[in-house]
Structure 1
Amino acid sequence: MKIPTPSRKSTTALRTAWLTLGLVGPLACTSAEEELERYQQEEAQVDTHLTTFDTLDFDVFTHQDWDRLQHSHAQDIIVHWPDGHQTQGIDVHIADLKAMFVYAPDTRIEVHPIRMGSGEWTSVVGIMEGTFTQPMPLPDGSSIPPTGKSFKLIMNTVSRWKDGVMAEEYLFWDNQSYMQQIGLAQ
């Protein structure tokens, strides 16, 4: 038995009515092939961003290869840190990252157990590890002596991408747990 195919005119009228009533969004007016193509392009873009992010953490961050940070970060990147401060600009971001390695030179991220994205956004969970083996400089010029204690933190980075690089980055980890692990809090 052959199933009748609605005419183009009746299909367009029905889609227009649904749009007018707010029952569907504008994407419903495209063909299934166009929607599939758009979805596949978005998935490919997200996969590219996630691959770039893997390289960022596993190679650039872990090996402190700061000259390569421009391959994943915009020059005017906005970064939101777990302690609530926000920075703008790749040079400021690099300075903040370098500071993490002063007192824990073996800091590294070697695994991303969760990676996902949609459109211009990605979210990646990583495990950041290291050991507090060098003095930790303080803003007043003094320092905290190393405790020799290791840390292992679950962290999350939520990123907004534009033109193939991160334009904005939100960093999340538990600072209280971090301080406890390195022996600076109870």
Structure 2
Amino acid sequence: MKKFTFFLSIGALASLLWISCANPNPGGGDWKAKADSLQAKLDQYEKDQQQMNTYLTRFDSLDFNFYSHQLWDSLQISHANNIVVTYPDGHQTTGIPTHIDELKPMFVFAPDTKITAHPIKFGVGKYTCVVGEMEGTFSRPMPMGGGKTMPPTGKKFKLQMCTVGEWKDGKMVAETLFWDNAALMKQISQ
């Protein structure tokens, strides 16, 4: 009887093995198609991550090199010609030349202005979000409008700013900027 049970068990095991080999996916469906679909999703994810890394690297160059050193002609590397930029007070400019006109005044009263760090940067899809740390010294008169100026105090400032960028074809087509002007004025005033 023990031999019979042993042979019956071996037979049942062999049958299960044969059935499982004959039908590798007993739950139905095509496991190869599912694997191919997952691979395609992984490939797309890796491609998207590579593109995002390109955008974030380009943004580092934009802030650390082009902005900090006032290399305005180089903005065309990262900005579309008709970029729409929204500033903290809500006004907008369209195009690189008008964007540059908005950036230059900071360097009039604080010519050593520079972006020193990007402590936070990430993105998803066509959007990036970068927090920058801007530093400088109020060392020259600040134009106040109407021919008036504010005398320099020699005080240093450190200000966090945030840029949300929308990208298309490797360039920013829209940029939304955030920083606290009141905090800047508090740091540099008498």
User: Do these two structures clear the TM 0.5 threshold for a shared fold by scoring above it?
Assistant: yes
- Separation (CA, whole Å) in 2 of partners of 1:131 and 1:46: 33
Q: Secondary structure at the match of 2:136?
A: strand
Q: CA-atom RMSD, angstroms?
A: 2.2
Instruction: Report what 1:21 is aligned to.
Output: none
Q: Which runs of 5+ in 1 are unaligned?
A: 13-27
Task: Spell out, residue by residue over 1:48-80, the C-alpha distance to the aligned partner (whole angstroms, 9 max, x if none).
Answer: 000000000011001111110100111111111
Instruction: Report what 1:129 is aligned to.
Output: 135
Task: Spell out, residue by residue over 1:136-158, the C-alpha distance to the aligned partner (whole angstroms, 9 max, x if none).
Answer: 11232221111211110111111
1:116 aligned onto 2:138? no
> What is the 5 A alignment of 1:20-59?
31-59=37-65
Identity of aligned residues (%): 52
Instruction: Report what 2:13 is aligned to.
Output: none
Alignment size in residue pairs: 167
Displacement after TM superposition at 1:85 (Å):
1.5
Instruction: Report what 1:7 is aligned to.
Output: 29
> What is the 5 A alignment of 1:72-151?
72-151=78-157
Q: More deviation in 155-164 or 131-140?
A: 131-140
Q: Spell out structure 1 runs of 4+ moving beyond 4 A.
A: 1-4
Q: Secondary structure at the match of 2:47?
A: helix
Q: Name the structure with the higher helix share.
A: 2
Higher-Rg member (1/2): 2
User: Contact 1:155–1:172 (CA<8 Å) still a contact in 2?
Assistant: yes
TM-score (norm 2): 0.81
- Separation (CA, whole Å) in 2 of partners of 1:136 and 1:83: 19
Instruction: Report what 1:179 is aligned to.
Output: 185
Q: Which runs of 5+ in 2 are unaligned?
A: 1-16
